[in-house]
């Protein structure tokens, strides 16, 4: 096997972290000696051991402590992300690498987190290790797209999910939207929720639908150790807070509003928005809560605001073959362009049938 094969193996391991690591990245590590794998591991869930530590443990368990330590001395590690050099929920991985005298390090990419970015590599090089950066970088970055996005762009990756009729409506005139999409689509949304750090809805949707906005009934849910944060945009009257289901869930909630509204509700953080650039301010603020990925779930005014500001990175539409007619609520009230060339435009990545609906995944052009 070659370096590329070992790094590929490390990427496959990293992917096993699936939805359980975020907001931490998925990371995999393979350790070799004389071209044979002696250790492998991945970051299994947020707050748990990092990949390098698990790979070392694997080696010590498999070969026994004495032989394992001998094998690790002078070995080569293939890691999908730069080893951390700071104390966070776990000790620095660079300490483990140095302790077991691993000699050669391939890391696919530097860690974009400014607290680490290049420091891990410098620590190891200073200690005399051979460190090469960049092997299968593109592939390794892809598996942590949203983590890199937040650190590089200073805001979360924004997904918007819309369940709409074929004539572009998201609710009847009386606000009833249960249910436009099929049971299967709604179950699919549970998987979308499991993948994000936070879900955002407008106050109109909170008051009309009283949603729970949690992850449930999802295969991916089983090992998730925390629910996505809930972000509410708009004013919620204090007297109604305790009746709202989402505040009964076990998650952090943040209300962003243009109003001066404060309360000492234990489960809610309030943030005042400026009138200008309010959504950009909101997204920037969310990075402080380590939110890599945000799922916008409606309703119409919120969809409109995010589309108008050009900050929807991925649009997911569940298209139901229903026609709701003229007086129903439009998915958006985006101002019409003067020419077709100026229309907001998305590129279709994938489409598939889900129950009675078509799910379309699009990216911003
Ligand atoms: N089919 C679907 O996919 C779907 C999904 C969700 C909801 N829905 C339906 O949609 C309806 C609710 O939609 P809606 O348009 O009435 O309400 P909404 O979009 O849920 O919430 C509207 C509120 O959000 C706040 N807001 C929006 N943009 C903002 C911005 N840029 N800055 C600050 N605040 C902002 C405003 O609050 P303030 O007025 O306090 O400033 C506004 O009143 C319901 O009938 C619901 O069933 C359908």
Say whether pTM exceeds 0.85. Answer: yes
> Rg of the chain over CA atoms, in angstroms?
23
Q: What residue owns the CA closest to ligand 1's atom 46?
A: 205
Strand partners, 361: 316, 350
The pLDDT-based confidence of 224 (bands split at 50, 70, 90) is low
Q: Does the pLDDT value for residue 226 go beyond 90?
A: no
Separation CA 54–CA 29 (nearest Å): 8
Ligand 1: which atom is nearest the Cα of residue 205?
20
Give the Å distance between the CA of 205 and the centre of ligand 1: 5
Q: Give yes or no for residue 129 CB within 6 A of ligand 1.
A: no
Strand partners, 317: 162, 360
Lowest mean pLDDT among 161-165, 240-244, 252-256, 282-286: 240-244
Counting residues of the chain whose pLDDT is more than 70, the rounded percentage is: 96
The edge-to-edge listing of strands for the beta sheet with 253-257 is 268-272, 253-257, 229-233, 198-202, 293-296, 157-165, 314-320, 357-364, 346-354
Reference 78, options 133, 128, 17, 144; nearest CA is 133
Query: To which H or E segment does residue 203 belong?
Result: helix 203-209
Enumerate the CATH 3.40.140.10 domain ranges in the chain, comma separated: 3-144
Structural contact between residues 125 and 280, judged by C-beta atoms closer than 8 angstroms: no
Q: What SS3 state is found at 311?
A: coil
Active site includes 52? yes
Give the Å distance between the CA of 316 and the centre of ligand 1: 18
Cis peptide bond upstream of 192, omega within 30: no
Enumerate residues 6+ apart whose C-beta is below 8 A from 118: 82, 110
Separation CA 81–CA 11 (nearest Å): 10
Enumerate the CATH 3.40.430.10 domain ranges in the chain, comma separated: 154-364
CATH number for the region 154-364 comes to 3.40.430.10
pLDDT digits 0-9 by tens, 56-69: 999 999 999 999 99
Structural contact between residues 96 and 124, judged by C-beta atoms closer than 8 angstroms: no
Higher pLDDT, 272 or 74: 74
Chain mean pLDDT for the chain: 92
Ligand 1 mutation pick, 298, 316, 360, max ligand atoms within 8 A of CB: 298
Lowest mean pLDDT among 74-83, 226-235, 343-352: 226-235
CB atoms within 10 A of CB 222: 8
Instruction: Give the model's pLDDT for residue 221.
Output: 58
pLDDT digits 0-9 by tens, 302-332: 999 999 999 999 999 999 999 999 999 999 9
Structural contact between residues 51 and 80, judged by C-beta atoms closer than 8 angstroms: yes
Q: Give yes or no for residue 91 CB within 6 A of ligand 1.
A: no
The pLDDT-based confidence of 22 (bands split at 50, 70, 90) is confident
Q: Give yes or no for residue 297 CB within 6 A of ligand 1.
A: yes
Structural contact between residues 190 and 217, judged by C-beta atoms closer than 8 angstroms: yes
Q: Give yes or no for residue 244 CB within 6 A of ligand 1.
A: no
The pLDDT-based confidence of 92 (bands split at 50, 70, 90) is confident
CATH number for the region 3-144 comes to 3.40.140.10
Ligand 1 mutation pick, 160, 164, 205, 315, max ligand atoms within 8 A of CB: 205
Q: Give yes or no for residue 208 CB within 6 A of ligand 1.
A: yes
The pLDDT-based confidence of 251 (bands split at 50, 70, 90) is confident
Q: What is the mean pLDDT of residues 242-262?
A: 82
Q: Give yes or no for residue 258 CB within 6 A of ligand 1.
A: yes
């Amino acid at each position: 096997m070659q370096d590329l094969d070992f790094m590929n193996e490390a990427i496959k391991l990293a992917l096993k972290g699936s939805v359980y690591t975020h907001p931490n990245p998925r990371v995999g590590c393979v350790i070799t000696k004389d071209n044979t794998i002696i250790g492998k591991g991945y970051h299994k869930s947020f707050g748990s051991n990092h990949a390098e530590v698990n790979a070392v443990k694997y080696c010590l368990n498999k070969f026994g402590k004495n032989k394992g330590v001998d094998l690790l001395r002078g070995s080569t590690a293939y890691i999908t992300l730069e080893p951390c050099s700071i104390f966070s929920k776990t000790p620095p991985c660079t300490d483990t690498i140095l302790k077991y005298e691993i000699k050669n390090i391939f890391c696919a990419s530097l860690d974009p987190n400014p607290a680490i970015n290049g420091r891990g590599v410098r620590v190891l090089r200073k200690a005399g290790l051979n460190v090469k950066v960049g092997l299968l970088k593109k592939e390794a970055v892809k598996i942590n797209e949203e983590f890199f996005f937040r650190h590089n762009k200073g805001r979360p990756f924004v997904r918007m999910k819309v369940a709409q009729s074929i004539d572009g409506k998201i609710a009847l005139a009386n606000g009833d939207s249960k249910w436009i999409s099929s049971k299967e689509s709604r179950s699919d949304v549970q998987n979308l929720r499991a993948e994000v750090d936070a879900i955002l809805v407008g106050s109109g949707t909170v008051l009309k639908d009283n949603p729970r906005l949690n992850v449930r009934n999802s295969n991916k849910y089983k090992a998730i150790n925390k629910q996505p944060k809930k972000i509410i945009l708009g004013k919620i009257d204090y007297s109604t807070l305790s009746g709202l289901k989402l505040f009964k869930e076990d998650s952090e909630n943040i209300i962003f509003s243009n109003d001066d509204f404060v309360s000492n509700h234990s489960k809610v953080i309030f943030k005042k928005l400026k009138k200008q650039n309010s959504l950009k301010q909101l997204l920037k603020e969310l990075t402080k809560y380590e939110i890599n990925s945000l799922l916008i779930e409606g309703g119409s005014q919120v969809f409109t605001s995010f589309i108008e500001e050009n900050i929807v990175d991925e649009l997911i539409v569940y298209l139901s073959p229903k026609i709701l007619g003229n007086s129903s609520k439009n998915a958006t009230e985006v101002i019409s362009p003067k020419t077709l060339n100026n229309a907001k435009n998305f590129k279709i990545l994938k489409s598939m049938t889900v129950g009675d609906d078509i799910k379309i995944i699009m990216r911003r052009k």
